[in-house]
């Protein structure tokens, strides 16, 4: 966004930011509902409390991004790289996270009800207290994933060190 200042709470609903370089940007509580951020570089971006409902984040780079309490309901993050991103308490209901790289991400208390995480990488991720009811975890990589007190797709809580058979 070279030289542009985006104030907290700014309304960028439906904006076309495909391929934009927003690395390290401060986008606290910004409204990006329905925006196109396909292939955007959001590395280290502060998106705490942002509205990204229905946003296209396909193949975007979100490494170390802070999305705590962000609304990503129905967002498309297919092939996205939220590597080590903070998605704690984020709303990811019905989000498409197919093939997303969530390695080392924080998803503490996130709501992933009905989300598609097929073939996603959750290795070393912290999914403590996350809600995964009706989520698709087919082929999801979960090496050393912390699922403590998470609600799994079938509605049960995993026992210590349990890796569900469907992952």
Could you give the number of structural domains in the chain? 1
CB 107 within 8 A of CB 88: yes
* CA 98/CA 71 separation, integer angstroms: 18
Structural domain boundaries, residue 106? 9-167
pLDDT digits (tens, 9 = 90+) for 99-139: 999 999 999 999 999 999 999 999 999 999 999 999 999 99
pLDDT tens digits along 81-90: 999 999 999 9
113 in a structural domain: yes
What is the model's pTM? 0.91
Q: In this structure, what is the dihedral angle of CA atoms 38, 146, 110, 98, given to the nearest 10 degrees?
A: 30
| C-alpha distance from residue 66 to each of 39, 50, 90, 136, 151 (Å) | 18, 10, 10, 24, 23
CATH of the domain at 156: 2.160.20.80
The C-alpha R_g of the chain, in whole angstroms, comes to 15
């Amino acid at each position: 966004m070279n030289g542009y200042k985006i104030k907290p709470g700014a309304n960028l609903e439906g904006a076309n930011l495909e391929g934009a370089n927003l690395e390290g940007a401060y986008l606290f509580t910004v409204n990006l509902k329905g925006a196109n951020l396909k292939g955007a570089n959001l590395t280290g971006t502060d998106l705490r409390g942002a509205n990204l409902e229905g946003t296209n984040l396909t193949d975007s780079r979100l490494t170390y991004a802070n999305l705590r309490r962000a609304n990503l309901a129905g967002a498309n993050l297919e092939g996205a790289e939220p590597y080590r991103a903070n998605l704690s308490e984020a709303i990811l209901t019905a989000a498409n996270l197919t093939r997303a790289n969530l390695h080392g991400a924080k998803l503490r208390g996130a709501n992933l009800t009905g989300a598609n995480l097929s073939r996603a990488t959750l290795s070393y991720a912290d999914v403590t207290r996350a809600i995964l009811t009706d989520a698709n975890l087919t082929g999801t990589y979960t090496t050393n994933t912390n699922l403590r007190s998470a609600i799994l797709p079938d509605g049960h809580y995993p026992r210590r060190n349990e890796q569900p058979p469907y992952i």
